[in-house]
Amino acid sequence: MSRVAYVNGRYVPHATAHVSVEDRGFQFADGVYEVIAIDAGHFVDELPHLDRWDRSLAELRLPPAMPRNAMRQVMREMLRRNRVREGILYMQSTRGAARRDAPFPRQADPTLVMTCRRQSLPGPAQVEAGVAVLSVPEIRWSRCDVKSVALLPNILAKQKAREHGAYEAWFTRESDGVVTEGGSTNAFIVPTDGHLVTHPATNAILGGITRDRVLSLARDAGLTVEERPFTLEEAKSAREAFMTSTTTGVYPIVQIDDAPVANGRPGSLTLDLNARYMAFSANGEVPA
């Protein structure tokens, strides 16, 4: 069955879907995006994702292409037309197409695009194996809290990680050694005190929806949660480490640079949170 994309009010074949060469997303990365998981036929944490979408738009003074209720209808239509029960919905909005000039155009309709594809969270064998991360210098701007499509530092970091045999890059500040987050994931450690530690949701990181969900699942499970900065050095001596995101869920980290995390196997707390998140994802439908 062929895939369908949504482009500015029309459902079109994915293969031929297009926007203008003068689109400001293409020319200036003047746009925002969201990725929402679909599990068992429903959107996972739909409303928090839409809240973050609204916030990103507002922070960049991008006008919404349509009201939330209409967006939610298009999202559901995309699921239906693409027959996706397990996968991801991608949505992107830009300041629209206009003659190339940096300041905001006086007249431009926002571009809104959605695509949808089948994809699964890492399966049991991948979770059991865990992955490696590579530390890279934090070179990004001071508005990482906005989910903007300007992802060049993230792309370069992730590419470098892959070339070093690692799955993800960990942005690490050279001034103080603090790990902010991954290229497309949030970073967590469990130091020897058994607490759960992750960088606070400041403008230095993207406040992940999965991060928030995992923190709440952890609190419900009685864990002590600390939202505080941690250094690469502290991470390397931690008992456990993992990353979170919409596409990875809770993914164990078993190696940081050249050093194994603890015994080089996923930690028990990480595996427990992975199971709790998987259960939430499959069952946690937010009422429409």
* 186 contributes a contact to ligand PLP by CB under 6 A: yes
CB of 4 or CB of 121, closer to ligand PLP: 121
Shortest spacing between CB 116 and ligand PLP, in angstroms: 16
DSSP character at residue 35 = E
Shortest spacing between CB 141 and ligand PLP, in angstroms: 12
Of the candidates 151, 5, 19, 193, the residue with the CA atom closest to the CA atom of residue 91: 5
CA dihedral 19, 21, 27, 29 (to 10 degrees): 10
* 209 contributes a contact to ligand PLP by CB under 6 A: yes
Q: Are 212 and 187 in contact (CB under 8 A)?
A: no
Segment near ligand PLP (CB under 6 A); pick from 13-21, 83-91, 207-215, 256-264: 207-215
HSE-CB for 192 with a 13 A CA cutoff: 4
Looking up tokens 């809770």, which residue turns up? 250
CB of 244 or CB of 281, closer to ligand PLP: 244
CB of 151 or CB of 223, closer to ligand PLP: 151
* 206 contributes a contact to ligand PLP by CB under 6 A: yes
**C-alpha angle 238-241-242 in degrees, rounded to nearest 5:** 170
Q: Are 242 and 181 in contact (CB under 8 A)?
A: no
* 208 contributes a contact to ligand PLP by CB under 6 A: yes
Instruction: State the amino acid at position 32 in one-letter form.
Output: V
Binding positions for ligand PLP, 163-182, rule CB under 6 A: 181
Instruction: State the amino acid at position 262 in one-letter form.
Output: A
CB of 206 or CB of 235, closer to ligand PLP: 206
* 255 contributes a contact to ligand PLP by CB under 6 A: no
CB of 111 or CB of 245, closer to ligand PLP: 245
Shortest spacing between CB 175 and ligand PLP, in angstroms: 20
Cα→Cα distances 186→4, 52, 126, 213, 250, Å = 31, 16, 18, 12, 10
Cα separation, 241 vs 128, in Å, equals: 13
* 249 contributes a contact to ligand PLP by CB under 6 A: no
Point out the catalytic residue in the list 147, 158, 160, 236: 147
* 245 contributes a contact to ligand PLP by CB under 6 A: yes
According to DSSP, the β-strands at 131-137 and 168-172 are parallel
Cα separation, 201 vs 246, in Å, equals: 16
Q: Which of 94, 115, 185, 198 binds ligand PLP (CB under 6 A)?
A: 185
CB of 32 or CB of 97, closer to ligand PLP: 32
Cα separation, 282 vs 288, in Å, equals: 16
Site size toward ligand PLP (CB under 6 A) is: 14
* 148 contributes a contact to ligand PLP by CB under 6 A: no
Based on the residue annotation, tell me whether 147 is a catalytic residue of this protein: yes
Cα separation, 255 vs 271, in Å, equals: 16
Segment near ligand PLP (CB under 6 A); pick from 74-82, 102-110, 208-216, 267-275: 208-216
Binding-site ranges for ligand PLP (CB under 6 A): 35, 154, 181, 184-186, 206, 208-211, 244-246
Catalytic residues, by residue number, are 147
